[in-house]
Amino acid sequence: DAGVIQSPRHEVTEMGQEVTLRCKPISGHNSLFWYRQTMMRGLELLIYFNNNVPIDDSGMPEDRFSAKMPNASFSTLKIQPSEPRDSAVYFCASSLARGQGNTGELFFGEGSRLTVL
Amino acid sequence: AQKVTQAQTEISVVEKEDVTLDCVYETRDTTYYLFWYKQPPSGELVFLIRRNSFDEQNEISGRYSWNFQKSTSSFNFTITASQVVDSAVYFCALGRRPNTGNQFYFGTGTSLTVIP
């Protein structure tokens, strides 16, 4: 079975450029999460969606960050304009939400490593 | 409020030694879930185990075992006869499932180095 698929795996860009990270959750999962991991801050939750609706975006650092989930099989995380401090590994994860006879664990993608010069 | 504490930032052991990774959680929920994830040097996050709050049975899977104690709000992870391949960062997480969907709270991770 395909897991959570993220693209690109690596992205190097210059400060000020727009960055778009993409995620395809596991088919049938209806909760999707975007995390950011850095050495300084560890694993941070940026935003999560339930049934394509953003539930909690309090972790989104600032207005330069935006996330969308236009349908159940696709989500994007956009940074515009990017800054060097945005350099991190961005993980997408999905799970089944309550009431669907599931075990509820998060399944992570392999991450997108972003470097902003 | 929910919180997960992994007090051990880094641990080093010599191969074949046993090692226990500590995890302490805080929640006022009566129903919750606990997880362990492994992040090897390659970077992916791999799910290891999930326990429900109403199931305090300990679990063993090969060289891995987990000790869940509600009385002390702990969910510790023991690796028996450690191997170099066990070198990774291990994350403990607390999950809750309100009507708005799953929520997860991660600890800061414990970096385990197994020395050959």
pLDDT digit string, tens, across residues A30-88: 899 999 999 888 899 999 998 999 998 988 988 999 999 999 999 999 999 999 999 99
- Mutation for testing the A interface, residue in B42, B44, B45, B108 having most A CBs under 10 Å: B45
Distances (CA, A) of B102 to A29, B18, B69, B88: 11, 33, 23, 26
Longest dimension (CA), chain B: 47
| Structure confidence at residue A100 (pLDDT) | 53
Residue A82 in contact with residue A90, Cβ under 8 Å? no
Q: Give chain B positions within 8 Å (CB) of A107.
A: 47
Of A31, A42, A110, the CB nearest to B44: A110
Residue B26 is inside which H or E element, if any?
strand B24-26
State the nearest Cα–Cα gap between A98 and chain B, in angstroms: 6
Cβ separation A33–B93 shorter than 8 A = no
Which two structure tokens, joined as six digits, stand for B108? 């800061």
**pLDDT category, A102, cuts 50, 70, 90?**
low
- At residue A82, the pLDDT reads 96
- What per-residue confidence (pLDDT) applies to A103? 58
For residue B58, what are the CA distances in angstroms to A74, B22, B50, B107? 38, 15, 11, 21
Chain B residues near residue A89 by CB distance under 8 angstroms: 43
Q: DSSP labels for A14-69?
A: -TT--EEEEEEPPTT--EEEEEEEETTTEEEEEEEEETTEEEE-TT--STTEEEEE
Q: Residue B100: its pLDDT value, please?
A: 66
Q: Encoding tokens for residue A24? A: 């395809």
User: Mapping DSSP to helix (H, G, I), strand (E, B) and coil, where does residue A86 land?
Assistant: helix
Closest residue of chain B to A96, computed from CA coordinates: B102
As a whole number of Å, the CA-based R_g of chain A is 14
Per-residue pLDDT at A1: 62
Q: Which of B101, B7, B104, B1 is nearest to B47 (CA)?
A: B104
Give me the pLDDT at residue B5, please: 96
Residue of chain B with shortest Cα separation from A95: B102
Q: What does the pLDDT read at residue B65?
A: 94
Judge: B93–A103 Cβ closer than 8 Å, yes or no: no
Regions in chain B scoring below 70 on pLDDT: 99-100
User: Which chain B positions have a beta carbon within 8 Å of A45's beta carbon?
Assistant: 104, 106
Out of A31, A43, A89, closest to residue B91 by CB: A43
- Among chain A residues, the shortest Cα distance to B109 is held by A42
